[in-house]
Amino acid sequence: MNNSYKVILIGDKKTGKTAYLDNIRYSTYNNEYIPTMGVNVHPISLNTNYGEYIFKIWDTAGDDKYGGMREGYYIEADACIVFYTENSDHVKTDKLLKKFLEINPDAEVVIVWSKYDQENERNYIENMSYTPAGYKYIRRNNYGCFQVSVLSRFNLFEPEKYLLRKLTKKVDLYFGDHIMSSKL
Ligand SMILES: Nc1nc2c(ncn2[C@@H]2O[C@H](COP(=O)(O)OP(=O)(O)OP(=O)(O)O)[C@@H](O)[C@H]2O)c(=O)[nH]1
Ligand SMILES: [Mg+2]
C-alpha cells in the first residue's frame, strides 16, 4: 500500500504556510515573520482509521527573492495546498497553481484562506460568498476550500483530511487521536 504522499505548500509570501506547518508539527505559533528560503521539507504522520499515512510536506518560499528552484520542487507531487489571504497577490498565486498543474495534471488541490482569526479575512470571504461569481472565485474551480487559522487552530487539519480522502479514495477516512507525530 502506498501510504506516503508528496504535498507542496504554495502561496504568496506571508500567507502563513510555514506557520501552518510549524503548528501542525509542534503546536507552536510564532508572531515573527521569517521568510522561507527556497524550500523546507518535513514529513508529518497522519493517524487515521485506515492506519498511518505520511505527508512529505514541501514548504516553498512565497517571496520571489527567495524562490529558489521553485517549479523544480513541484516534480512528482501528489497534491498541493494553496494559501491565500485577502491581501496576498492572487494573480501570482493562480499562476503558481497553474504551473503546478502543468507539472502534475492529476494532482489533488485544496485551497486555504488563512488567518481566519482576523475579522477582515472572515468578512472578505463572507462578502465574496454572496455572489455565485465570488463564491467560484474563492473556491477556485471547485477545489476543496477551507478557512483556516493557525493562531486559533480553526480547521487546522481539514485540508489534510480532504486531500487524504481524495488521494486514498476512502471517503469515510477520519483522523484518530494523536493525529500528528513530530517524531519523524
Ligand atoms: N493572525 C494570524 N497570523 C498568522 C496566521 N498564520 C500566520 N500568521 C502570521 O503571518 C506571518 C507570515 O507567516 P509565515 O508562515 O512565515 O508566512 P509564509 O507564507 O511561510 O511566508 P514565506 O515563507 O515568505 O512564503 C507571520 O508573522 C505569522 O505569525 C494566522 O493564522 N493568524
Ligand atoms: Mg514560509
10 CB under 6 A from ligand 1? no
pLDDT at 111: 97
Task: Going residue by residue through the chain, which has 184 residues, state the pLDDT in tens, using 9 for 90 and above.
Answer: 689 999 999 999 999 999 999 999 998 999 999 999 999 999 999 999 999 999 999 999 999 999 988 899 999 999 999 999 999 999 999 999 999 999 999 999 999 999 999 999 999 999 999 999 999 999 988 899 999 999 999 999 999 999 999 999 999 999 986 555 444 4
Q: Is the CB of 23 under 6 A from ligand 1?
A: no
- Cβ(113)–Cβ(147) below 8 Å: yes
What pLDDT does residue 141 have?
Answer: 86
Q: What is the pLDDT of residue 68?
A: 86
- Tell me how many helices (H) and strands (E) the chain has: 5, 6
Cα separation, 38 vs 26, in Å, equals 22
Angle, helices 119-129/132-139, rounded to nearest 10 degrees: 130
- pLDDT, position 179: 58
Closest CA to 160 of 41, 46, 3: 46
Gap between the Cα atoms of 172 and 76, Å rounded = 26
Ligand 1 atom closest to Cα of residue 23: 6
Residue nearest to atom 6 of ligand 1 (CA): 16
Point out which residues pair with 145 in neighbouring strands.
111
Q: Which amino acid is at 88?
A: S
Q: Which CATH number fits domain 4-182: 3.40.1310.30, 3.40.120.10, 3.40.50.300, 3.40.50.720?
A: 3.40.50.300
Please provide the size of the chain in residues. Answer: 184
| Alpha carbon distance 99, 74 (integer Å) | 9
Q: Letter for the amino acid at 140?
A: R
The domains of the chain are located at: 4-182
